[in-house]
Amino acid sequence: MHEGLPAAAFLQLLELEKDDGFCRTGRSPHCTYVASEDDDRWMYGSCSPPTLPPALLGQPAPSVAPGAPSVPPSVPPSMPPSVPSGESPAPSAPKLPLVEVPKASVAGLVDLLVTTALPATAAKEPAGAAAKEPAAGEQRGAERVLNSTPSPEAIPVLMITHKRAAYLQRALASLFRYRPSQEQYPIIASQDGDDASVRSLLQKYLTSGELARHLRFSPKKFLPSGYERLCSHYAWAFSQLFDVLGFEQAIVLEEDLEISPDFFSYFQATWPLLRADPELFCISAWNDNGKAEIASNATAVYRSDFFPGLGWMLLRSFWMEVKGLWPTQYWDDFLRRPEIRRKRQCLRPELSRTHTFGEQGVSKGQFYKTHLAGNLLNSKQLDWSAVSLAHVATRANFEAYLTQQVKSAKLLPLEDSGKLLDAAVAFRYDDKQWKSVAQRFGLMEDEKAGVRRGSFRGVVPFSWHRRPAFLVESWPLVRSEP
């Protein structure tokens, strides 16, 4: 796996692999392994890098003063354990700088280095050495990957995948079909485990250049449930994108999601709002209440107190805020907790820009047949740069907009919901009635941390008989504190 890396980089990788005494099988030839009984993908032992003579590293042999303590051979004296970000190595000893990698990132660093479809660059080889061609999908040397700084305008699309190769192929096909620019939207797949079909598919797209990187995640301890494993995978993948690669934002998808024709246009238009407004923490392409009977307006966008997920964008700054608090399972419900959300919202459309076809997965099809399968995917190409988003640009703007919409709608009792009116309508509901009210209209009736799906301050906007409709608990018809 390490062939073609400069000697100094190889040593640095081995140092990073030593984390907590765990070694991934086959990752290093200098480990003593003891097999684990509960997880045969991992073996436990100790790792130490080989002792290489200074000449091989391109460094002069160190002089040791009489009586000075000896330096352990496992860490060459000329190579510090880490190099601060931005610091250049000494000119007399050219070598790769170390990257500060969080513990969660260590297991996949080598895969990050060698599985990339960035353009090949000439590796620095000793004079007279024969050039070695990189394997398909790999980059010659590690310098470009370690040292490259992504454009602040780049928006990587992170594809979380495990072992559903047919699902993954369908999801990637829609991305490749509608992506306007490989440079602005590099697609990075993060694979949990070692499923051969998934690995082969991703390697094919690496070779073709359609996929930018293939990351490989393997947890360092046995995780008994799929939810725990998925949660750990998300944390590791975010760490790769933001802590290691240095991207400023990312769109997150899973292998059972396909996108609409205007998916990228939607995110391109809403991304500036996320960067500008500290009261937003995500942009989502998904509407939980997106079935045909209750969603029809292709240009409608709302602020919501509920985190929708299923195709969403976050900023690096938000990851830096939450990574130290990351849970062991149920990462999406974690983002819905009041102390994490902190009265911030997400943007979400009325017509979803993603569609899930994943009946089989970690959630075992929860809500799939009753709600998710019937959600509409917008089928038309819409130029979102021509759509006004001023009403959702700030919380104050949206409160004013929603107040005007609700107060100008015709207020009806719930029992009149069957009446056909050629106008916007509003219905009052009591908190204790919520489940039956949601069922009346075909909305998702569950809630998380006291927040209903798609709601803002207790108001749930949707379409009813293809007209704007609002379920209102109290605000804005009754004055209340935000």
Which token pair is 184? Answer: 């602005």
Distance CA 210, CA 201 (A): 12
Q: Is 320 helix (H, G, I), strand (E, B) or coil?
A: helix
**HSE-up (13 A, CA, CB side) for residue 216:** 21
Calpha distance 252→286 (Å, rounded): 12
332 is catalytic: yes
State whether the Cα torsion 328-330-331-336 is positive or negative: negative
* 1 closest CA partner among 200, 135, 195: 135
Catalytic residue, candidates 39, 332, 383, 422: 332
Q: How many beta carbons lie within 10 A of that of residue 200, not counting itself? A: 10
Q: Is the peptide bond prior to 6 cis by the omega test (within 30 degrees of 0)?
A: no
CB within 8 A of 358, min separation 6: which ones? 164, 167, 254, 255, 256, 257, 368
Q: How far is CA 38 from CA 35, 46, 248, 408, 433, in A?
A: 9, 19, 38, 62, 48
Contact 462, 479 (CB under 8 A): no
| 126 Cβ contact partners less than 8 Å away, ≥ 6 residues apart | none
Confirm if 161 and 198 have CB atoms less than 8 A apart: yes
Distance from C-alpha of 218 to C-alpha of 229, rounded to nearest angstrom: 9
- The token pair that represents 303 in the structure block: 């602020």
Helix (H) or strand (E) holding 209: none
Give the rounded distance of the alpha carbon of 79 from its chain centre. 34
Phi, psi for residue 27 in degrees, rounded to 5: -75, -35
Q: Quickly list H helices, 250-327.
A: 263-276, 316-322
3-state secondary structure of 39: coil
Residues involved in catalysis: 332
